[in-house]
């Protein structure tokens, strides 16, 4: 996630006790949108925590954001637990793992996602983090999508061949890197709201019939 979402700016302002009205939020967003984002848009910044912070702070400074707000924006941006999951993530994880399907998370990220997954639980008592067999996080590996190396790491840890795996993402230019290794890749439309239910398309491929309630 990045501080171009109104809710993220609202939280950052609120933590400082500043005006978080729609007008104030839009004022910050306007400055951010008007600044050069070429460095923060590069997936390579997610391979190094120091580089990631430096790129964001450079962006904030060029946008005319004061130091205190810049620190607050970066702190909020770096808390994955504040970023809501899509409404159907839990159901997908439960369906897959209950059927013996191994799950890996491959993400360009500069912080640990495990605690955010651990905050959510399924009806069987497992947390979402318990349902993930392999974590391939760019900041831990020093490599980011679309470099095949991050996908190869996940394959090796899962103990599976590319022909046995489905990669699911919503950024074709990055997630499509999995196809270079022979992994079937499903690129979903970008998530515009947490209420967007898109993940039944995964079940249609991995567990045909489950998305329609068969075999539940």
CB 158 within 8 A of CB 149: no
Q: Are residues 56 and 108 in the same domain?
A: no
Domain boundary among 51, 78, 105: 78
Tell me which residue range forms the domain holding 24.
6-78
Could you tell me which residues come within 8 angstroms of residue 14 by beta carbon, excluding any fewer than 6 positions away? 20
Helix/strand number for the chain, H first, E second: 10, 4
Domain boundary among 16, 49, 78: 78
Q: Are residues 154 and 69 in the same domain?
A: no
Q: Are residues 100 and 73 in the same domain?
A: no
Q: Are residues 17 and 114 in the same domain?
A: no
Q: Are residues 95 and 202 in the same domain?
A: yes
d(CA 52, CA 59): 11
- What tens digit of pLDDT does each residue of 93-124 get? 999 999 999 999 999 999 999 999 999 999 89
Give domain status of residue 13, yes or no. Answer: yes
- What pLDDT is attached to residue 215? 43
Could you tell me which residues come within 8 angstroms of residue 214 by beta carbon, excluding any fewer than 6 positions away? none
Give the pLDDT band of residue 3 (cuts 50, 70, 90). Answer: low
Nearest to 202 by CA among 191, 211, 215: 211
Q: Are residues 11 and 110 in the same domain?
A: no
Could you tell me which residues come within 8 angstroms of residue 105 by beta carbon, excluding any fewer than 6 positions away? 113, 117, 132, 134, 135, 136, 137
Q: Are residues 160 and 59 in the same domain?
A: no
Q: E strands along the chain, which residues?
A: 104-107, 134-137, 166-169, 184-187
Structure tokens at 123: 């009806």
Q: Are residues 39 and 107 in the same domain?
A: no
Q: Are residues 30 and 66 in the same domain?
A: yes
CATH number at residue 191: 3.40.50.1000
d(CA 77, CA 69): 12
Structure tokens at 206: 């991995």
- What pLDDT is attached to residue 216? 37
Whole-prediction pTM: 0.89
Give domain status of residue 130, yes or no. Answer: yes
- What pLDDT is attached to residue 42? 87
d(CA 170, CA 172): 6
Q: Which residue has the tokens 């991995």?
A: 206
Give domain status of residue 40, yes or no. Answer: yes
Give domain status of residue 125, yes or no. Answer: yes
Give domain status of residue 119, yes or no. Answer: yes
Number of domains comprising the chain? 2
d(CA 13, CA 28): 10
Cα separation values, 158 from 99, 105, 125, 197, Å: 16, 11, 23, 27
- What pLDDT is attached to residue 4? 66
- What pLDDT is attached to residue 1? 52
Domain boundary among 31, 52, 78: 78
- What tens digit of pLDDT does each residue of 157-193 get? 999 999 999 999 998 989 999 999 999 999 999 888 8
Mean pLDDT of 13-23: 97
Q: Is the pLDDT of residue 125 over 70?
A: yes
CB 117 within 8 A of CB 132: yes
């Amino acid at each position: 996630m990045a501080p171009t979402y109104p809710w993220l700016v609202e939280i950052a302002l609120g933590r400082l006790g500043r005006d978080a009205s729609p007008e104030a939020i839009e004022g910050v967003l306007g400055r951010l949108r008007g600044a050069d984002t070429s460095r923060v848009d590069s997936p390579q910044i997610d391979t190094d925590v120091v580089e990631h912070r430096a790129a964001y702070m450079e962006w904030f400074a060029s946008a005319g954001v004061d130091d205190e707000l810049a620190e607050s924006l970066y702190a909020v941006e770096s808390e994955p637990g504040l970023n809501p999951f899509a409404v159907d993530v839990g159901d997908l994880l439960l369906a897959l793992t209950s059927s013996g399907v191994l799950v890996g998370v491959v993400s360009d990220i500069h912080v640990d996602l495990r605690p955010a997954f651990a905050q959510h639980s399924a009806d069987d008592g497992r947390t979402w983090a318990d349902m993930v067999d392999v974590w391939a996080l760019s900041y831990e590996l020093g490599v980011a999508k679309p470099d095949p190396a991050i996908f190869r790491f996940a394959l090796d840890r899962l103990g599976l061949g590319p022909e046995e795996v489905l990669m699911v993402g919503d950024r074709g230019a990055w997630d499509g890197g999995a196809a270079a290794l022979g992994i079937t890749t499903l690129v979903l439309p970008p998530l515009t709201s947490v209420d967007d239910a898109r993940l039944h398309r995964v079940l249609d491929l991995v567990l045909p019939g489950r998305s329609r309630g068969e075999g539940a």
